[in-house]
Amino acid sequence: MPYAESLGFAYHQILVVIAGAVCLFGTWVGMRHFARARATAGSTRLGWLFMASVVTGVALWASTFISILALDPMLKSGFEPVATSLVLLIAIVSCLAGFQIGSRPFPALAPELGGLVMGVGILAMHFVGLHAWHVEGTIQWNVYGLVLTLLLGLSLSALSVNRANRPVTRYCRHGAAIVLAFMICAMHYALTASATTMPDPSLDLPGYLIPAHMLCFAVVGAVLLVMGSGFSSYVIDLRTRTESAERIHQLSFNDTMTGLPNRIAFNERLSFDISDAHEKGQKLAAFSIDLDGFKDINDVFGHSAGDLVLIQVAERLRNAVGEGEFVARQNGDEFLALKMSSNHPADAQAFAEKLGTILSEPFKVSDTDVKLTASIGYSVFPLDTRERDHLVSNAKLAMHRGKAHQAGNICRYDRDMDDAARARRALARDLLSATKNGQLELHYQLQTLLRDGTVCGAEALMRWRHPVRGMISPAEFIPLAEETEAIVEMGEWALRTACRAAAEGKLPGMIAVNVSPLQFNHGDLAETIKGILAETGLHPSRLEIEVTESMLMSNQSRCLEILGKLKTMGVPIAMDDFGTGYSSLGTLHAFPFDKIKLDQSFVRRVPDDLLAAAIVKTVLALGRSMNVPVLAEGIETEDQLQFLIKEGCIEGQGYLFAKPVPLAQIPDAMAKMLQRVAAKTATVQQTDAQVAAA
């Protein structure tokens, strides 16, 4: 047998190694549990603390007695049952107290304090353990050895709990277990080294002692308990981690409201499908799907009804996809899809049509059937692009292009769209600095009283003189300026410039200025206009603000509030382009407009187009009944003018009288209008004279 003499005792070396290993494993499992306790709170934390203490305590108990048993062969011995059990109790309680104190946030040295408590407990355990050990002989203790044992025990256990509580790396937990195991072994050997035994065969051991071999069974049981606890905590840990990983995966890859895959999942699938298509020589089509008029559902029925529609849309899309197809929700009312085929673009077109059809079926919203359409754009890999990101942006571009043309369109990407989009972006960039660079101009179109041709005012119309492209029409740059919000600064410039020209007497009568919806949403437009009128000295009654119906629909309460302020200031308000939007009587009733501007699309078609003529008559009758003068826009011919005069239209503007011109040409334009009136009067007089002569 491999025994070793050490001072007063001989050791069974293998048992000593086993004692160290049990201690190490037990404390490692204990530290694992303790780390879980630190990461949780409330009763879960207490549960883990208890488990940590039981496992560590049992391991300490077992290792203590294994190392005592290692001494057994040289001496006949036995173990006192109560003290032996007490050792286990002390071990568990001191670990519980040590862990509990050590894991508290206060005081600052709580971890070290907890370690000391454990150290005291472990020392007590050893003293009681040795007390429980009855040998056939006598034991004498060395005081210095005992003090050394005490110091070793306390400092090493403090260090151990310190490592467990203030981990710098994830290995600190193992460090703590190693320190604790080392401390127990070192302390135990320091303690036994402080003792000297005198074998005395004349001493009889009491009969109630637990024989060494019986204790072996208890120790083996304890070791199995520790191992079982370690194993089950490992299994629980593994399962919890897998479950949470799956849940995180589910959450981060699925849109929570519709349950459809989200943008992240779409990107992953796209990368996979692209390499698959590449490998198999297939084609991949990406689709961008946008619901038309979805905002109206939110506005009319509320957001929860909107959510229900989105859930129904997702359900239909999910049911529509088959093998090699994939749908995802991008955000809001935008969806994405993929389809693999060797027969693209024909298959892509067919798939888009299928999606368009299933989404055009009515949706149930609060017991009402609501019809929606979807605008769909698509692009095909590798026909249109070989870049993953371009495939989706191409599809979106195509969708927007189709939608701009008509809601519910299906549109395939083509390269010209890219060029147009690039040019548009460049123009939008240039527009941001157009006001500052003095590239904006105002042209003025004179307005007239139709009966006698008197000039009654002018409309200010913005022009952009681009350094490269030359003069650009407002029909092209105003929507762009609204997208980039540059219109706010531009509109203010137009107001100031027009008011100044009118105040300086360079324009006759009223000056009408168009205002964009965005100007209503930024700052206080009424205050801005007030400031401009004060600055230029123009009387409020000479400025006329032109608003469109769609603007009022976009943010009615705010618009009406600002218009009300302007009206109080004495600024007249005109409803521009009447007849092109919703043309609702409600809008006319919502606000007391000072003028209705009849859109040129109707004026252009009178008198021959009977429907247009009927509309013009109705609007004129409406104006009369509401006591609001109507101005007809876009009068180009004498026939149109005569029709309008006959139907009682008061004012007009159009190329027949004057085209929009720069300020410097206004006197000429006015002179021409006077000549026209004079010529007309002369013709009328001549005709009258001829009639009289006849």
Q: Can you give the binding site for Mg ion, defined by CB under 5 A?
A: 514, 546, 576-577, 633
DSSP-assigned beta bridge partners for residue 286: 338, 379
Near ligand C2E in 238-267, by CB under 6 A: none
Helix (H, G, I), strand (E, B) or coil at 103: coil
655 binds, among Mg ion, ligand C2E, none (CB under 5 to 8 A by kind): ligand C2E
**Segment near ligand C2E (CB under 6 A), from 105-113, 210-218, 258-266, 631-639?**
631-639
* Cβ–Cβ < 8 Å for 200, 134: no
Q: Tell me the backbone φ, ψ of residue 70, rounded to 5 degrees.
A: -65, -20
Contact 481, 525 (CB under 8 A): no
In the DSSP assignment, the letter for residue 172 is: H
Backbone angles phi, psi at 254, to 5 degrees: -120, 145
Bridge partners of residue 328, in order along the sequence: 336
List Cα–Cα distances, 675 to 184, 509, 683, in angstroms. 117, 19, 12
Which residue, 442, 453, 463, is CA-closest to 654? Answer: 453
At its nearest, how many Å lie between ligand C2E and the CB of residue 622?
19
Q: How far is the CB of 255 from ligand C2E (least distance, A)?
A: 38
**Looking at residue 515, what DSSP letter applies?**
-
The distance of closest approach from Cβ of residue 645 to ligand C2E in the complex, given in angstroms and rounded to an integer, is: 16
Q: Angle at the Cα of 187 (from 181 to 193), degrees rounded to 5?
A: 135
Pick the closer one to ligand C2E by CB: 84 or 514.
514
* DSSP-derived pairing of the beta strands 455-466 and 651-652: unpaired
Q: Which residues contact 129 (CB under 8 A, 6 or more apart)?
A: 64, 65, 68, 83, 84, 87
- In the list ligand C2E, Mg ion, none, the entry touching 491 (Cβ below 5 to 8 angstroms by class) is ligand C2E
| Least distance to Mg ion, CB of residue 310, Å | 37
Matching residue, tokens 């007590």: 124
If one asks whether residue 494 binds ligand C2E (CB under 6 A), the answer comes out as yes
Q: Which does 90 bind (CB under 5 to 8 A by kind): Mg ion, ligand C2E, none?
A: none
Contacts with ligand C2E, 537-556, as mask; x by CB under 6 A: ---------x----------
Q: Does 474 bind ligand C2E (CB under 6 A)?
A: yes
> Which lies closer to Mg ion via its Cβ, residue 341 or residue 514?
514
Residue linked to tokens 């008197």:
454
**Binding of ligand C2E by 462 (CB under 6 A):** yes
Using CA atoms, how far apart are residues 601 and 196, in angstroms rounded to an integer?
A: 117
Among 160, 192, 516, 536, binds ligand C2E (CB under 6 A): 516
DSSP 342: S
- Please give the residues from 590 up to 629 whose contact with ligand C2E meets the rule CB under 6 A: 600
Rounded distance, CA 37 to CA 31, Å? 9
Q: Name which of 402 and 654 has its Cβ closer to ligand C2E.
A: 654
Residues 284/340, Cβ–Cβ less than 8 Å = yes
User: Could you tell me which stretch among 4-12, 211-219, 513-521, 552-560 binds ligand C2E (CB under 6 A)?
Assistant: 513-521
Query: 346, 337, 203: which is closest to 269 by C-alpha?
Result: 337
Nearer to ligand C2E, 506 or 604 (CB): 604
Question: Residue for token digits 């359900």?
Answer: 315
**72 belongs to the binding site for ligand C2E (CB under 6 A):** no
DSSP state of 293: T
Q: Is 691 in the site for ligand C2E (CB under 6 A)?
A: no
> Which partner, ligand C2E, Mg ion, none, binds residue 636 by CB below 5 to 8 Å per kind?
ligand C2E
Q: Angle between the 42-69 and 13-39 helix axes, to the nearest 10 degrees? A: 170
Q: From the CB of 549, what's the least distance to Mg ion, in Å?
A: 11
Of residues 636 through 675, those in contact with ligand C2E by CB under 6 A are 636, 653-655, 660
- Look at residue 660 and give the partner it binds from Mg ion, ligand C2E, none, a contact being a CB closer than 5 to 8 Å depending on partner kind: ligand C2E
- Of the two residues 546 and 651, which places its CB atom closer to Mg ion in the complex? 546
Q: Which is nearer to Mg ion, 286 or 478 (CB)?
A: 478
Residues 519-538 as x/- pattern, contact with ligand C2E by CB under 6 A? --------------------
Residue 552 tokens, joined: 């009022």
Site string for ligand C2E, 407-446 (x = CB under 6 A): --------------------------------------x-
Q: Which residues in this chain contact ligand C2E in the complex, by CB under 6 A?
A: 445, 461-462, 473-475, 478, 491, 494, 514-516, 546, 576-577, 600, 633-636, 653-655, 660
